[in-house]
Structure 1
Amino acid sequence: YTIVFCICSFLTYGNTCGPSEYKSADEECCPMCNVGSVVYRHCTGDFSTTCIPCAPGTFMSQPNGLDKCFPCKHCAESQGLYIQSKCTRIQNTICDVLDGYYCIDYSDSQCRHAEKHRVCKRGQETKTSGTKTSDTECVHCAPGFYSPSGLNCTKWTDCAARNGIKVEDGSPVKDVRCVQKRKRYCLVALCPPVICAAVIAALYRRAHSEAQTVNNGEWIQFFFKLN
């Protein structure tokens, strides 16, 4: 039993590589390559692992026994993304969401695809502005308010408060239409001084002429009474 236990222990130990080793195709426990590099030639009994650095456009972010680096991620503007941090040999590209967009697809704690924020329509206003993780929330204007551009709802104009008359009702997309009340002015106040003087003189002459005519008529009646 002791011999069998020793043989099993040897086989188990031989099949297990250390934490910084990997098992090659030849069943050798070879030293791993460092971050930013991959295996060029596996180790042999006399030689250690030969590593090469990752080529531009590829990366390796952990010690490994692989023979190929991973391709760098692309941040496409058509997907609402931009490059926050460029790809290096030891780190993948870090993408972030463009302004005016929000993420709809996450993977490995990074956004893979984003869409534009909703634009509120006429007759609506923005209740909650969009963020990088949520879309814009729109609400309809309350009765008596309007929004021609979809940004903010504004109360209809109070025509009476502005000494006006409402001639057209408002709607969710436009304000009421008011016109100013006509103001009445005294005739004298509207007349230029020269015209006013001429009018007053004409009225005076007419009144004087009528008074003289009346006086002449009274004298004629008195004369006939005497006869």
Structure 2
Amino acid sequence: MKGKSDMWYLWMWMVYMLLLFCDLSYCCGSAEYFINGECCPMCSPGEHVYKHCTEYAGPLCKPCTTGSFMSVPSDLLHCIFCTVCDQGFGLKTDKECSPTSDAVCRPLDQHYCTEPDKKSCRLAQRHTICRPGTFIKRNGTILTNTECEECRDKTFSNKSSSQFCTPHTDCQSLGLQEITAGTDTSDIVCATRNDLVAVLVPLVLVPVVLVAGLSAVIGIFISSKFPHLSGKTLIHM
């Protein structure tokens, strides 16, 4: 009997020492929190603590107000403010905030997420617009930007966000003459031989006509102002 009594006292001493050195906050259950010497039950998701428990009564919990949430049991005195999906950050609301879950944001159309946050997004940017002279190599998604690539030799694109580059026209295969070279943003301009003559003749004749007309005007002006010099002037002209 004495041996059993000694064992019981030893066990009680060990329990006492454990309680003495144990931080009671760690001795509370997983759904409890330590406050004022008590292990209080946490408030349920969708609620916050309004008054802590006492020796005689449990905690007083209140529902989260509009614009706030609590997704897990907690001992917090206030619910967490809901995330706002701001269009200024390139975002829109994918899932509305509820008392037990935060709002979920996703990129606006033609935007991609640059700062993912679990199943949501904190910041998004507009997809790159592929300029003329390039084409879309890979379309953008909600997680990746658009990839552009330069038009290769003898091809062009003359508008933004082209899906492909178009080969330059082969004037020779059409029996035509090239009058303007192609670039990465414009096609070759072709013309028939008659069209080419119709284009080149005015280009040659117009300067000649302008020079002749200007000379005639100058001659008339000199003749009217300096009659005695008109002969010499005209000879030199």
Instruction: Answer yes or no: same fold by TM over 0.5.
Output: yes
Query: What residue ranges of structure 2 are gaps of 5+ in the alignment?
Result: 1-8, 196-237
- d(CA) in 1 for partners of 2:23, 2:150: 72
Shift of 1:65: 1.0
Indicate whether 1:4 and 2:13 are aligned: yes
Query: What residue ranges of structure 1 are gaps of 5+ in the alignment?
Result: 184-227
After TM superposition, the score normalised by the length of structure 2 is 0.72
Q: Which has the higher helix share?
A: 2
Q: Paired residue for 1:132?
A: 142
Q: Paired residue for 2:225?
A: none
Residue 178 of structure 1 aligns to a residue whose secondary structure is strand
User: What is the count of residue pairs matched by the alignment?
Assistant: 182
Shift of 1:10: 3.4
Q: Paired residue for 2:97?
A: 87
- d(CA) in 2 for partners of 1:6, 1:19: 21
2:55 to 30, 45, 58: 45
Indicate whether 1:21 and 2:23 are aligned: no
Shift of 1:110: 2.5
For 1:45-194, list aligned pairs within 5 A.
45-150=55-160, 151=162, 152-182=164-194
Once the two structures are superposed, what CA deviation does each residue of 1:84-137 show, in whole Å capped at 9, x if it has no partner?
Answer: 000010000000112211111123443110111111111111111111111111
Once the two structures are superposed, what CA deviation does each residue of 1:172-219 show, in whole Å capped at 9, x if it has no partner?
Answer: 110000113449xxxxxxxxxxxxxxxxxxxxxxxxxxxxxxxxxxxx
After TM superposition, the score normalised by the length of structure 1 is 0.75
- d(CA) in 2 for partners of 1:168, 1:108: 55
Percent of aligned positions with the same letter in both sequences?
33
- d(CA) in 1 for partners of 2:72, 2:110: 35
Bigger Cα displacement from structure 2, 129-138 vs 13-22: 13-22
Contact 2:104 2:121 in 1 (8 A): no
Larger C-alpha radius of gyration, 1 or 2?
1
Residue 111 of structure 1 aligns to a residue whose secondary structure is strand
Which amino acid is 1:178 matched to?
C
Contact 2:127 2:146 in 1 (8 A): yes
Change (3 A) 1:178 1:67: same
Which amino acid is 1:21 matched to?
E
Residue 157 of structure 1 aligns to a residue whose secondary structure is coil
Contact 2:106 2:113 in 1 (8 A): no
